[in-house]
Amino acid sequence: MKFLFLCLILNALSYSAFSAEDLLSEIVSRKEIRIGMEAGYIPFEMKNKKGGLIGFDVDLAKILAKEMGVKVKFINTEWDGIIPALLTKKFDLIMSGMTVTQKRNLKVNFATPYIIVGQTILLNKKLKGKIKNYRQLNSSKYNVISKLGTTGEQAVKKLLPNAKYRAYQTEQEAALEIMSGKADAFVYDHPYNSIFVNAKGKGKVIHLSTPFTHEPIGMALRKSDPNFLNFLNNFISQVKNDGRYDKLYQKWFKGDKWLSQIK
Alpha-carbon distance 182 to 173, whole Å?
11
Q: What is the overall mean pLDDT for the chain? A: 91
Q: Which pLDDT does position 61 carry in this prediction?
A: 98
Domain 119-213 in this protein, CATH class: alpha beta
Alpha-carbon distance 223 to 105, whole Å?
9
Residue 249, pLDDT > 60, answer yes
Whether residue 43 has a cis bond before it, omega within 30° of 0: yes
Alpha-carbon distance 98 to 88, whole Å?
18
Where b means 16+ CB within 10 Å and e means fewer, 181-207 reads eebbbbbbbbbbbbbbbeeebeeebbb
Q: Which pLDDT does position 20 carry in this prediction?
A: 52
Residue 91, pLDDT > 60, answer yes
What residues contact 40, with CB distance under 8 A and at least 6 apart? 46, 47, 170, 171, 172
Q: Are 35 and 68 in contact (CB under 8 A)?
A: no
Alpha-carbon distance 7 to 126, whole Å?
75
Nearest one of 120, 118, 117, 124 to 176, comparing CA atoms? 124
Q: CB 141: neighbour CB atoms within 10 A?
A: 9
Amino acid identity at 144: V
Q: What is the pTM of this model?
A: 0.78
Q: Give the tens place of pLDDT for each residue, 204-233.
A: 999 999 999 999 999 999 998 899 999 999
Q: Which pLDDT does position 1 carry in this prediction?
A: 52
Q: What is the mean pLDDT of residues 88-110?
A: 96
What residues contact 244, with CB distance under 8 A and at least 6 apart? 63
**CATH 3.40.190.10 applies to domain 20-116+217-261:** yes
Helices marked H in the chain — which ranges? 2-19, 23-30, 56-68, 82-87, 102-105, 151-159, 171-179, 190-196, 226-241, 244-249
CA distances from 141 to 55, 129, 136, 171, 260 (A): 37, 17, 11, 23, 38
Q: Pick the residue with more confidence: 1 or 92?
A: 92
Alpha-carbon distance 163 to 181, whole Å?
17
Q: Which pLDDT does position 42 carry in this prediction?
A: 86
Nearest one of 106, 69, 122 to 235, comparing CA atoms? 69
- How many percent of the chain have pLDDT more than 70? 92
Grade residue 168 by pLDDT with cuts at 50, 70 and 90. very high
Grade residue 130 by pLDDT with cuts at 50, 70 and 90. very high
Three-point CA angle 195, 198, 203, nearest 5°: 135
Break the chain into its structural domains and give their ranges: 20-116+217-261, 119-213
Q: Give the tens place of pLDDT for each residue, 5-64.
A: 444 444 544 434 444 569 999 999 999 999 999 998 889 999 999 999 999 999 999 999
